[in-house]
């Protein structure tokens, strides 16, 4: 498969240049996967709005969903990026591996979250009803379930963009499991 070039700031529209500037200011860099969105006039802004939207999920919970969906979709880029982000959120290397395997022993509520998220991603939305019941029993509600699906959608978009573009991974590689 042909790799899609990562555009430079000079090669993109003024609107996307502004988004590049904001990313550089806020996180110090424009990750290659974000940059490739700028081939489209609207995709980067649309994606950043989705990714940064309000949610009932805490940052650690979002990372659980991001990691398991990226594992299900075999996205090396997102696994690398979200391993780094998960460490910044306080997860250990061992905990990140558990999350990616879909079996969390260190937190029962996060275990219910990872299992339902994995089932949703693997079964195209048709989650195992028992896992949905466990999710609710763990303390989540209907709004939480909808927010989980929104994060799954967000992560699926990035997983698919990487699968189609094969941009260079600019994060340390996630360990194999």
Q: Which domains does the chain have, with CATH numbers?
A: 9-51 (1.20.5), 59-165 (1.20.1290.10)
Is the model's pLDDT at 2 over the cut of 80?
no
Average pLDDT (57-68) is 98
Give 121-149 pLDDT, tens digit per residue. 999 999 999 999 999 999 999 999 999 99
- DSSP letters, 64-76, are HHHHHHHHHTT-H
| Ramachandran assignment for 84, one of left (phi > 0), alpha (psi -120 to 50 degrees), beta (any other) | alpha
> Which pLDDT belongs to residue 3?
73
> Which pLDDT belongs to residue 56?
98
Helical (H) or strand (E) element with 108: helix 108-122
Residue 109, number of CB atoms within 10 A of its CB: 15
Is the model's pLDDT at 110 over the cut of 90?
yes
For 163, phi and psi rounded to 5 degrees? Answer: -60, -35
Average pLDDT (81-94) is 98
Is the model's pLDDT at 1 over the cut of 80?
no
Give the up-direction half-sphere exposure of residue 32: CA atoms within 13 A in the CB hemisphere: 16
Average pLDDT of the chain is 97
What's the DSSP call for residue 103?
Answer: -
Residue 167, number of CB atoms within 10 A of its CB: 19
Where residue 83 falls among pLDDT bands split at 50, 70, 90?
Answer: very high
Average pLDDT (89-107) is 98
């Amino acid at each position: 498969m042909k790799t899609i070039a990562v555009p430079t700031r000079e090669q993109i529209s003024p609107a996307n240049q502004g988004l590049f500037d904001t990313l550089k200011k806020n996180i110090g860099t424009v990750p290659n996967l974000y940059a490739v969105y700028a081939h489209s006039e609207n995709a980067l802004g649309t994606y950043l709005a989705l990714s940064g939207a309000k949610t009932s999920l805490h940052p650690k919970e979002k990372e659980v969903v991001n990691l398991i969906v990226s594992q299900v979709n075999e996205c090396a880029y997102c696994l690398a990026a979200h391993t780094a982000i998960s460490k910044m959120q306080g997860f250990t290397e061992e905990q990140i591996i558990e999350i990616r395997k879909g079996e969390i022993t260190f937190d029962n509520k996060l275990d219910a979250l990872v299992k339902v998220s994995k089932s949703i991603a693997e079964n195209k939305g048709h989650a195992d009803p028992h896992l949905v019941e466990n999710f609710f029993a763990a303390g989540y509600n209907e709004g939480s379930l909808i927010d989980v699906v929104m994060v799954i959608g967000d992560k699926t978009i990035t997983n698919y963009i990487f699968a189609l573009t094969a941009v260079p991974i600019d994060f340390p590689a996630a360990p194999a499991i």
